[in-house]
Amino acid sequence: MRAAVALAALAVVSVARADALDELLRGFATHRTGHAAFTEVHEFALLKRPLRSSGELRYRSPDYLEKRTLQPRPETLVLKDGTLLAERGRHRRVLELAAHPELVPYIESIRATLAGDRAALERYFVVDVSGDASAWTLRLRPRPGPIGRSVQEVRLSGAAAAIREVDIRLKDGDRSRLEIGPDLPP
């Protein structure tokens, strides 16, 4: 009997969690566009000191994401309809996201959250929500398979319908952090 109560309580908790995720994603779904500055820090074992870069992020619902790096060297990365276009100097690369599952944690974590696309999030990750609307954290652990070949987990955190940090932890202990903000005029 006690066990049953405990189970029921657990169920209530997970329902509450699920609701929290729904609520969080609903907030994102109402925002169709976004434009913000970013700073990125790579902390790799082979580096003496972290690599830093900065630039602007642009988003348009549901699947256009642009990351324009301005410092230290200009580079543009555009996600559109599942295709990734990278331009650096004269180099231009087109990647199909579907053909490169290792890139999914870097891209879909952000895109699916911004789009409020719970189905996509749960297709690729085991999702945990914590905190409240003023300071929430999404912990995304890649599901088994090539998606999680190098990524241990992705932690997104923010306030209300805004991501403020994307923390990507790799299996080899390396780490990349993307700090987002402040918002820029559209």
Partner 1 sequence: MSNPAARAAALWGLAVLLLLAIALRANFRTDLSAFLPRAPSAAQRLLVGQLQSGPAGRLIVAAIRGGGPTGRAAASIALARALRGGADFTSVENGDEESLARDREFLLRERYLLSPDVSPGRFQAAGLRAALEASLDTLAAPEGVLVKDLFARDPTGEFLGLLERASGTQPPREQAGAWSSHDGREALLLLQTRAPGADTDAQQRAIEAVQRAFAQVRTTTAQGAQLSLLLSGPPVFATEARALIRSEVKRLSALSAVLIALLLLSLYRSPLALLLTFVPVASGALAGVAAVALGFGTVHALTLGFGVTLIGESVDYSIYLFVQGEGAGMHLWDTLRLGVLTSIAGFAALLPSSFGGLAQLGLYSIAGLIAAALVTRYVLTAWRPRTLRLRDLRALGRVLLKWHSRRRGVPALLMVLALAEAALLWVQRGHLFSADLAALSPISLAAQDTDARVRADLGAPDVRYLVVVSAASAEAALEGAARLAAHLDPLVSAGTIGGYETPSRYLPPQQVQAARRASLPEPAALRTALHAALETLPVRAEALEPFVRDVAQARGAPLLTRADLEGTGFGALVEGLLHRDAHGAQALLPVSARGAADLTPEALAALHGVVAAAPGATLLDLKGETDRLYGGYLRQAVELSLAGAVAILALLLVALRSARRVARVLLPLALAVMGVAALQALRGEPLGILHIVGMLLIVAVASNYALFFDRARAHPVEADLERTVASVVVANLATVIGFGVLAFARVPVLAQLGATVAPGALLALLFAALLSGDLRSDDAHAD
What residue ranges bind partner 1 (CB under 8 A)? Answer: 40, 42, 44-51, 53, 67, 69, 73, 75, 77, 84, 86, 88, 91, 93-96, 98-100, 102-103, 106-107, 150-151, 170, 174
In angstroms, what is the minimal distance from the CB of 100 to partner 1?
Answer: 7
Closer residue to partner 1, CB minimum distance, 10 or 51: 51
In angstroms, what is the minimal distance from the CB of 47 to partner 1?
Answer: 5
Amino acid sitting at position 39: T
Closer residue to partner 1, CB minimum distance, 104 or 138: 104
In angstroms, what is the minimal distance from the CB of 152 to partner 1?
Answer: 12
For the CA atoms of 94, 97, 100, 102, what is the dihedral angle to 10 degrees? 120
Pair of tokens at residue 38 = 């970013």
Closer residue to partner 1, CB minimum distance, 11 or 47: 47
Instruction: Report the alpha-carbon angle 36-161-86, nearest 5.
Output: 40
Asked if 70 contacts 56 with a C-beta cutoff of 8 angstroms, the reply is yes
**Closest-CA residue to 109 (of 41, 178, 52, 53):** 178
Residue position matching structure tokens 């995304």: 140
In angstroms, what is the minimal distance from the CB of 82 to partner 1?
Answer: 10
